[in-house]
Copies of this chain bind each other. A is one copy, B any other.
Amino acid sequence: MTEGTSGWLPLSPGERSVAIEVLVHGPLSRTELARRLGLSAGSLTRLTKPLIESGLLVEVTEAGAPAEARQGRPSQPLDVVADSGFFLGFKITEDAVYGVVTTLRSHIVTRHDRALTTHDPAEVADVLAGMTAELAQGHPRLAGIGIGVGGFVQDRAVVGESPFLLWRDVPLAELVEERTGLPVVVENDVAALVEAETWFGAGRGLDRFVVLTIGAGLGYGLVLGGRRVPFAEEDRGFGKHWIVDSHGPLTPDGRRGSAVSLLTIPSIRYQILAATGEDRTYEEILARAAAGDPMPARVVGEAARALGTLVAQISNFVMPQKILLAGEGVGLMDVAGKTVEETVRALRHPLAAPVGLETKVSDFHDWARGAAVLAIKVLVLGSAEA
Protein backbone atom coordinates (compact mmCIF):
# COMPACT_ATOMS: atom_id res chain seq x y z
CA MET A 1 0.00 0.00 0.00
CA THR A 2 2.88 2.31 0.69
CA GLU A 3 4.77 1.35 -2.43
CA GLY A 4 6.82 3.70 -4.52
CA THR A 5 5.69 6.98 -3.07
CA SER A 6 8.05 6.79 -0.14
CA GLY A 7 10.91 7.71 -2.43
CA TRP A 8 10.74 11.49 -1.97
CA LEU A 9 10.85 11.56 1.76
CA PRO A 10 12.39 13.17 3.70
CA LEU A 11 13.42 16.50 2.22
CA SER A 12 16.18 18.80 3.36
CA PRO A 13 15.16 22.32 4.39
CA GLY A 14 16.32 23.73 1.09
CA GLU A 15 14.52 21.11 -0.93
CA ARG A 16 11.43 21.64 1.15
CA SER A 17 11.30 25.35 0.44
CA VAL A 18 11.65 24.67 -3.28
CA ALA A 19 8.90 22.05 -3.16
CA ILE A 20 6.55 24.39 -1.29
CA GLU A 21 7.17 27.27 -3.64
CA VAL A 22 6.45 25.20 -6.72
CA LEU A 23 3.51 23.48 -5.09
CA VAL A 24 1.83 26.70 -4.05
CA HIS A 25 2.79 29.07 -6.83
CA GLY A 26 2.64 26.81 -9.82
CA PRO A 27 5.28 26.18 -12.48
CA LEU A 28 8.41 28.21 -11.86
CA SER A 29 11.81 28.23 -13.52
CA ARG A 30 14.95 27.65 -11.49
CA THR A 31 16.00 31.25 -11.91
CA GLU A 32 12.63 32.48 -10.71
CA LEU A 33 12.88 30.16 -7.72
CA ALA A 34 16.34 31.45 -6.93
CA ARG A 35 14.97 34.98 -6.94
CA ARG A 36 11.99 34.14 -4.73
CA LEU A 37 13.92 32.09 -2.21
CA GLY A 38 16.98 34.30 -2.12
CA LEU A 39 19.32 31.53 -3.23
CA SER A 40 22.00 31.37 -5.86
CA ALA A 41 21.49 29.79 -9.24
CA GLY A 42 23.90 27.02 -8.37
CA SER A 43 21.93 26.07 -5.31
CA LEU A 44 18.80 25.65 -7.38
CA THR A 45 20.52 23.16 -9.64
CA ARG A 46 21.61 21.22 -6.60
CA LEU A 47 18.23 21.35 -4.86
CA THR A 48 16.05 20.55 -7.82
CA LYS A 49 18.04 17.57 -9.03
CA PRO A 50 16.92 15.10 -6.36
CA LEU A 51 13.37 16.44 -6.50
CA ILE A 52 13.20 15.71 -10.22
CA GLU A 53 14.86 12.33 -9.86
CA SER A 54 12.41 11.28 -7.18
CA GLY A 55 9.51 12.19 -9.45
CA LEU A 56 8.07 14.98 -7.33
CA LEU A 57 8.93 17.65 -9.90
CA VAL A 58 9.14 17.62 -13.69
CA GLU A 59 10.40 20.04 -16.28
CA VAL A 60 7.37 21.18 -18.19
CA THR A 61 7.77 22.26 -21.77
CA GLU A 62 5.10 24.95 -21.56
CA ALA A 63 4.28 24.32 -25.20
CA GLY A 64 0.89 25.93 -24.80
CA ALA A 65 1.65 29.49 -23.83
CA PRO A 66 5.25 30.66 -24.09
CA ALA A 67 3.89 34.08 -23.14
CA GLU A 68 6.56 36.58 -24.11
CA ALA A 69 9.41 34.88 -25.96
CA ARG A 70 12.26 36.92 -24.61
CA GLN A 71 15.85 36.94 -25.62
CA GLY A 72 18.35 34.40 -24.37
CA ARG A 73 18.07 30.78 -23.44
CA PRO A 74 14.47 29.88 -22.67
CA SER A 75 13.69 29.04 -19.10
CA GLN A 76 12.78 25.55 -18.10
CA PRO A 77 9.80 25.74 -15.72
CA LEU A 78 9.40 23.11 -13.05
CA ASP A 79 6.08 21.83 -11.83
CA VAL A 80 4.94 19.25 -9.35
CA VAL A 81 3.74 15.94 -10.72
CA ALA A 82 0.28 16.29 -9.29
CA ASP A 83 -0.47 12.60 -9.44
CA SER A 84 2.86 11.45 -8.05
CA GLY A 85 1.01 11.01 -4.82
CA PHE A 86 -2.55 11.07 -3.54
CA PHE A 87 -3.76 12.06 -0.12
CA LEU A 88 -6.82 11.18 1.89
CA GLY A 89 -8.73 13.74 3.89
CA PHE A 90 -11.44 12.93 6.41
CA LYS A 91 -13.79 15.15 8.33
CA ILE A 92 -15.49 13.52 11.27
CA THR A 93 -18.83 14.93 12.33
CA GLU A 94 -21.25 13.71 14.92
CA ASP A 95 -23.11 11.39 12.59
CA ALA A 96 -20.96 10.89 9.51
CA VAL A 97 -17.45 10.71 8.13
CA TYR A 98 -16.74 12.64 4.92
CA GLY A 99 -13.75 11.54 2.88
CA VAL A 100 -11.93 12.85 -0.17
CA VAL A 101 -8.96 11.84 -2.26
CA THR A 102 -6.85 14.75 -3.46
CA THR A 103 -3.79 15.27 -5.59
CA LEU A 104 -0.67 16.96 -4.32
CA ARG A 105 -2.20 20.19 -5.54
CA SER A 106 -5.22 19.52 -3.33
CA HIS A 107 -7.65 18.98 -6.16
CA ILE A 108 -10.40 16.65 -5.08
CA VAL A 109 -10.40 13.48 -7.18
CA THR A 110 -12.95 11.35 -5.36
CA ARG A 111 -15.49 11.78 -2.61
CA HIS A 112 -16.79 9.10 -0.32
CA ASP A 113 -18.93 9.41 2.79
CA ARG A 114 -20.23 7.02 5.37
CA ALA A 115 -22.65 7.35 8.26
CA LEU A 116 -21.27 7.08 11.74
CA THR A 117 -23.36 4.98 14.11
CA THR A 118 -20.94 4.86 17.00
CA HIS A 119 -18.49 7.15 18.70
CA ASP A 120 -16.28 4.41 20.09
CA PRO A 121 -12.73 5.35 19.10
CA ALA A 122 -11.76 1.87 17.90
CA GLU A 123 -14.92 1.53 15.81
CA VAL A 124 -14.47 4.99 14.32
CA ALA A 125 -10.93 4.01 13.41
CA ASP A 126 -12.34 0.87 11.81
CA VAL A 127 -14.70 2.97 9.73
CA LEU A 128 -11.83 5.21 8.62
CA ALA A 129 -9.71 2.17 7.75
CA GLY A 130 -12.57 0.68 5.77
CA MET A 131 -13.10 3.87 3.81
CA THR A 132 -9.36 4.07 3.20
CA ALA A 133 -9.33 0.52 1.79
CA GLU A 134 -12.18 1.33 -0.58
CA LEU A 135 -10.63 4.58 -1.75
CA ALA A 136 -7.24 2.94 -2.16
CA GLN A 137 -8.64 0.72 -4.87
CA GLY A 138 -8.99 3.56 -7.31
CA HIS A 139 -5.84 5.30 -6.17
CA PRO A 140 -3.04 2.97 -5.26
CA ARG A 141 -0.43 5.64 -4.70
CA LEU A 142 -1.79 6.91 -1.39
CA ALA A 143 0.87 8.78 0.53
CA GLY A 144 -0.91 9.77 3.70
CA ILE A 145 -4.10 10.56 5.58
CA GLY A 146 -5.29 13.78 7.17
CA ILE A 147 -8.16 13.81 9.65
CA GLY A 148 -10.06 16.88 10.80
CA VAL A 149 -11.96 16.77 14.09
CA GLY A 150 -13.81 19.44 15.98
CA GLY A 151 -12.08 19.82 19.31
CA PHE A 152 -8.69 20.12 20.84
CA VAL A 153 -5.93 18.11 19.15
CA GLN A 154 -2.44 17.63 20.55
CA ASP A 155 0.74 17.07 18.55
CA ARG A 156 -1.30 16.49 15.40
CA ALA A 157 -1.93 12.98 16.65
CA VAL A 158 -4.08 12.79 19.78
CA VAL A 159 -7.61 14.12 20.20
CA GLY A 160 -7.24 15.72 23.59
CA GLU A 161 -10.84 16.70 23.94
CA SER A 162 -13.79 16.56 21.61
CA PRO A 163 -17.12 17.52 23.15
CA PHE A 164 -19.38 16.19 20.41
CA LEU A 165 -17.63 12.81 20.19
CA LEU A 166 -17.19 12.68 23.96
CA TRP A 167 -13.52 11.83 23.45
CA ARG A 168 -10.64 12.50 25.78
CA ASP A 169 -7.03 11.73 24.92
CA VAL A 170 -7.82 9.42 22.04
CA PRO A 171 -4.65 8.55 20.05
CA LEU A 172 -6.51 8.65 16.76
CA ALA A 173 -3.44 8.90 14.53
CA GLU A 174 -2.00 5.75 16.05
CA LEU A 175 -5.29 3.86 15.77
CA VAL A 176 -5.65 4.64 12.08
CA GLU A 177 -1.97 4.13 11.30
CA GLU A 178 -1.93 0.62 12.65
CA ARG A 179 -5.04 -0.25 10.63
CA THR A 180 -3.92 1.26 7.32
CA GLY A 181 -0.15 1.32 7.41
CA LEU A 182 -0.26 4.91 6.18
CA PRO A 183 1.07 7.95 8.00
CA VAL A 184 -1.75 9.91 9.63
CA VAL A 185 -2.06 13.53 10.67
CA VAL A 186 -4.88 14.64 12.95
CA GLU A 187 -5.77 18.28 13.48
CA ASN A 188 -8.55 20.51 14.66
CA ASP A 189 -10.93 20.93 11.75
CA VAL A 190 -10.85 24.71 11.71
CA ALA A 191 -7.06 24.77 11.96
CA ALA A 192 -6.82 22.40 9.00
CA LEU A 193 -9.19 24.50 6.92
CA VAL A 194 -7.22 27.63 7.74
CA GLU A 195 -3.95 26.00 6.73
CA ALA A 196 -5.49 24.81 3.50
CA GLU A 197 -6.89 28.22 2.61
CA THR A 198 -3.60 29.86 3.51
CA TRP A 199 -1.74 27.60 1.15
CA PHE A 200 -4.03 27.01 -1.77
CA GLY A 201 -7.09 29.13 -1.22
CA ALA A 202 -8.18 32.65 -0.46
CA GLY A 203 -5.19 33.39 1.76
CA ARG A 204 -2.54 32.37 -0.72
CA GLY A 205 0.47 34.62 -0.41
CA LEU A 206 -1.17 36.92 2.10
CA ASP A 207 0.60 38.14 5.18
CA ARG A 208 -2.43 38.80 7.39
CA PHE A 209 -5.49 36.68 6.85
CA VAL A 210 -8.52 35.62 8.88
CA VAL A 211 -10.93 32.75 8.40
CA LEU A 212 -14.35 32.89 10.02
CA THR A 213 -16.57 29.85 9.67
CA ILE A 214 -20.28 29.79 10.30
CA GLY A 215 -22.15 26.54 10.61
CA ALA A 216 -23.32 24.50 13.55
CA GLY A 217 -20.82 26.60 15.48
CA LEU A 218 -18.38 29.35 14.81
CA GLY A 219 -14.75 28.95 13.86
CA TYR A 220 -11.98 31.50 13.88
CA GLY A 221 -8.50 31.22 12.49
CA LEU A 222 -5.79 33.83 12.35
CA VAL A 223 -2.83 33.94 9.99
CA LEU A 224 -0.13 36.53 10.58
CA GLY A 225 3.18 36.71 8.83
CA GLY A 226 1.91 33.96 6.55
CA ARG A 227 1.65 31.51 9.45
CA ARG A 228 -1.35 30.35 11.41
CA VAL A 229 -1.36 31.57 14.98
CA PRO A 230 -2.09 28.65 17.28
CA PHE A 231 -4.67 29.24 19.98
CA ALA A 232 -5.12 26.38 22.39
CA GLU A 233 -8.22 27.90 23.94
CA GLU A 234 -9.77 28.49 20.59
CA ASP A 235 -9.87 24.81 19.70
CA ARG A 236 -11.62 24.14 22.96
CA GLY A 237 -14.35 26.53 21.91
CA PHE A 238 -13.93 28.91 24.82
CA GLY A 239 -13.04 31.92 22.79
CA LYS A 240 -16.02 32.01 20.55
CA HIS A 241 -18.82 33.22 22.73
CA TRP A 242 -18.21 36.76 21.67
CA ILE A 243 -20.76 39.23 22.93
CA VAL A 244 -21.39 41.42 19.95
CA ASP A 245 -24.25 43.46 21.29
CA SER A 246 -24.99 43.60 24.98
CA HIS A 247 -28.31 45.29 24.16
CA GLY A 248 -29.27 42.44 21.86
CA PRO A 249 -32.02 39.87 22.25
CA LEU A 250 -31.88 37.23 24.92
CA THR A 251 -31.09 33.91 23.33
CA PRO A 252 -31.04 30.22 24.29
CA ASP A 253 -27.72 30.17 26.06
CA GLY A 254 -28.93 32.83 28.44
CA ARG A 255 -26.46 35.49 27.42
CA ARG A 256 -27.52 38.53 25.48
CA GLY A 257 -26.17 38.95 22.01
CA SER A 258 -23.43 36.34 21.85
CA ALA A 259 -22.19 35.63 18.37
CA VAL A 260 -22.96 31.94 18.63
CA SER A 261 -26.56 32.59 19.59
CA LEU A 262 -27.08 35.12 16.81
CA LEU A 263 -25.21 33.58 13.90
CA THR A 264 -25.07 29.80 13.94
CA ILE A 265 -27.54 27.75 11.97
CA PRO A 266 -29.10 25.95 14.95
CA SER A 267 -29.59 29.24 16.79
CA ILE A 268 -31.27 30.89 13.85
CA ARG A 269 -33.57 27.92 13.39
CA TYR A 270 -34.31 27.91 17.11
CA GLN A 271 -35.25 31.58 17.04
CA ILE A 272 -37.73 31.01 14.24
CA LEU A 273 -39.12 27.92 15.94
CA ALA A 274 -39.56 29.76 19.22
CA ALA A 275 -41.26 32.72 17.57
CA THR A 276 -43.49 31.01 15.07
CA GLY A 277 -43.69 27.40 16.16
CA GLU A 278 -42.55 26.31 12.72
CA ASP A 279 -39.39 24.25 12.32
CA ARG A 280 -37.85 25.58 9.11
CA THR A 281 -34.59 24.69 7.43
CA TYR A 282 -31.86 27.29 7.22
CA GLU A 283 -32.39 27.67 3.48
CA GLU A 284 -36.13 28.19 3.95
CA ILE A 285 -35.52 30.88 6.52
CA LEU A 286 -33.10 32.70 4.24
CA ALA A 287 -35.54 32.49 1.35
CA ARG A 288 -38.38 33.90 3.44
CA ALA A 289 -36.19 36.65 4.73
CA ALA A 290 -35.24 37.55 1.17
CA ALA A 291 -38.93 37.54 0.27
CA GLY A 292 -39.63 40.05 3.00
CA ASP A 293 -41.34 37.86 5.58
CA PRO A 294 -40.94 40.09 8.68
CA MET A 295 -39.99 37.55 11.32
CA PRO A 296 -37.26 35.76 9.34
CA ALA A 297 -36.07 39.11 8.01
CA ARG A 298 -35.63 40.38 11.55
CA VAL A 299 -33.68 37.32 12.66
CA VAL A 300 -31.50 37.30 9.56
CA GLY A 301 -30.93 41.04 9.83
CA GLU A 302 -29.86 40.61 13.42
CA ALA A 303 -27.44 37.89 12.34
CA ALA A 304 -26.06 40.10 9.59
CA ARG A 305 -25.45 42.93 12.02
CA ALA A 306 -23.72 40.52 14.39
CA LEU A 307 -21.50 39.30 11.57
CA GLY A 308 -20.71 42.85 10.53
CA THR A 309 -19.77 43.68 14.10
CA LEU A 310 -17.44 40.69 14.27
CA VAL A 311 -15.81 41.60 10.99
CA ALA A 312 -15.33 45.19 12.08
CA GLN A 313 -13.79 44.21 15.39
CA ILE A 314 -11.48 41.73 13.73
CA SER A 315 -10.47 44.36 11.19
CA ASN A 316 -9.76 46.88 13.92
CA PHE A 317 -7.48 44.72 15.98
CA VAL A 318 -5.92 42.33 13.51
CA MET A 319 -6.09 44.39 10.29
CA PRO A 320 -6.12 41.43 7.94
CA GLN A 321 -5.76 41.93 4.22
CA LYS A 322 -8.63 39.55 3.73
CA ILE A 323 -11.30 37.81 5.78
CA LEU A 324 -12.70 34.58 4.42
CA LEU A 325 -16.21 33.67 5.45
CA ALA A 326 -16.67 29.94 5.08
CA GLY A 327 -18.88 27.14 6.26
CA GLU A 328 -22.45 26.11 5.60
CA GLY A 329 -23.92 29.22 7.17
CA VAL A 330 -22.56 31.87 4.84
CA GLY A 331 -25.69 31.81 2.68
CA LEU A 332 -26.52 34.68 4.97
CA MET A 333 -24.26 36.86 2.87
CA ASP A 334 -26.38 36.38 -0.26
CA VAL A 335 -29.48 37.60 1.50
CA ALA A 336 -28.08 40.21 3.84
CA GLY A 337 -24.60 40.95 2.58
CA LYS A 338 -25.49 44.59 2.27
CA THR A 339 -26.43 44.82 5.93
CA VAL A 340 -23.16 43.20 6.87
CA GLU A 341 -21.18 45.69 4.85
CA GLU A 342 -23.10 48.65 6.20
CA THR A 343 -22.48 47.48 9.75
CA VAL A 344 -18.79 47.10 9.08
CA ARG A 345 -18.60 50.57 7.61
CA ALA A 346 -20.43 52.10 10.53
CA LEU A 347 -18.01 50.63 13.04
CA ARG A 348 -14.76 51.54 11.33
CA HIS A 349 -12.91 54.75 10.72
CA PRO A 350 -13.89 56.23 7.34
CA LEU A 351 -10.25 56.45 6.29
CA ALA A 352 -9.34 52.92 7.34
CA ALA A 353 -8.38 50.61 4.53
CA PRO A 354 -11.45 48.63 3.50
CA VAL A 355 -11.21 45.00 4.49
CA GLY A 356 -11.41 42.40 1.76
CA LEU A 357 -14.34 40.11 2.44
CA GLU A 358 -14.56 36.84 0.58
CA THR A 359 -17.40 34.41 0.91
CA LYS A 360 -17.05 30.75 0.16
CA VAL A 361 -19.91 28.37 0.72
CA SER A 362 -18.28 25.16 1.80
CA ASP A 363 -19.62 21.73 2.54
CA PHE A 364 -18.10 18.97 4.59
CA HIS A 365 -15.92 17.84 1.70
CA ASP A 366 -14.11 21.15 1.86
CA TRP A 367 -13.35 20.45 5.49
CA ALA A 368 -12.05 17.02 4.49
CA ARG A 369 -9.93 18.65 1.81
CA GLY A 370 -8.47 20.91 4.47
CA ALA A 371 -7.39 17.86 6.42
CA ALA A 372 -5.82 16.39 3.28
CA VAL A 373 -3.86 19.59 2.70
CA LEU A 374 -2.54 19.41 6.21
CA ALA A 375 -1.40 15.87 5.53
CA ILE A 376 0.41 17.11 2.43
CA LYS A 377 1.98 19.89 4.42
CA VAL A 378 3.20 17.66 7.20
CA LEU A 379 4.09 14.54 5.25
CA VAL A 380 5.63 15.92 2.09
CA LEU A 381 7.30 18.78 3.78
CA GLY A 382 8.38 16.97 6.88
CA SER A 383 6.36 18.56 9.69
CA ALA A 384 8.32 21.77 9.49
CA GLU A 385 6.18 23.69 11.93
CA ALA A 386 4.88 22.59 15.28
Contacts and interface: CB of A to CB of B under 8 A. Distances in A.
A37 interface: no
Contacts of A242: 316, 347, 349
Interface stretch (A144-152, A220-228, A325-333): A220-228
Contacts of A313: 313, 316-317
Interface in A308-346: 312-314, 316-319, 346
Nearest to A352: B238
Given A225-B227, A227-B225, A240 B349 contact: yes
A233 B317 contact: no
B238 A349 contact: yes
A90 to B, nearest CB: 28
A60 to B, nearest CB: 34
A109 interface: no
Q: For A229, A234, A312, A316, which residue has the most chain B Cβ atoms within 10 angstroms?
A: A316
Contact of A317 (B227, B247, B314, B353): B314
Interface string A62-78: 00000000000000000
B241 A349 contact: yes
Copies in the complex: 2
A351 interface: yes
Contact of A352 (B229, B233, B314): B233
Interface in A53-104: none
Contacts of A353: 233, 238
Interface in A117-133: none
A239 interface: yes
Contacts of A239: 316, 319, 349, 352
Contacts of A243: 312, 346-348
A2 B314 CA distance: 47
Contacts of A351: 238
A376 to B, nearest CB: 23
Contacts of A208: 229
A137 interface: no
A319 B231 contact: yes
19 contacts: A208-B229, A224-B225, A225-B225, A233-B319, A233-B352, A233-B353, A234-B319, A239-B316, A239-B352, A241-B349, A241-B352, A243-B347, A243-B348, A246-B346, A246-B347, A313-B313, A313-B316, A314-B317, A318-B318
- Which 10 A-B pairs give the minimum distances between C-beta atoms? A241-B349, A238-B352, A243-B347, A238-B351, A313-B313, A242-B316, A231-B319, A317-B317, A224-B224, A314-B317
